Amino acid sequence: MKGLIQRVNHARVTIDGETVGQIGRGILLLLGIEKGDTEASADKLLHKVASYRIFPDQHGRMNLSLADTGGELLIVSQFTLVADTRKGMRPGFSQGATPEEGERLYDYFREQAAQRLPSVATGRFGANMQVALENDGPVTFMLETVP
C-alpha cells in the first residue's frame, strides 16, 4: 500500500462541480492499493499517516504528527500511485489491486481513520475527481507498507 501525503493548509475534492470532501490544516493522503495489500497493510499505513512527524513544533522543527496537532485528514483514492513506470513510455497497472479489492480496502482504511482521528474527509472511490490544495511548505512524502 502506498500513500503520498502532503501537509496542507486546506484541500478539497470536487466531483462534477460538487465538493464531496474538504479539510483545513492537515494532511491530504493520496492512497494507492496494490495486489496483496491487506487490512494489516492498511493499519500500518494509517498508523504512519497519523504518527508521521511533519508538522512544526514551537521551534519550527518537524516534530509533531497529525495526531499531535489534531489536524484533519483528506483521503483520496489514486490507483496511479501503484503504476510501474520503470520501462517504456506508458505506465503499467498490473500491480494494482482489483477495483473490488481496492474499494474494500479503501473503505476499511476510511473507517479505521474515522475511528482514530477527529476529522476525516474523503473523495469517492473510482470517481473522476478534481483535487485542489494549498501545500504547506511544500512538505510531501511517499509512505509505503509491505504486504
Active-site residues, by number, are 78-80
Whole-number Å distance between alpha carbons of 54 and 97: 29
Cα→Cα distances 89→33, 81, 84, 92, 94, Å: 22, 16, 11, 10, 15
As beta bridge partners, residue 122 has 75
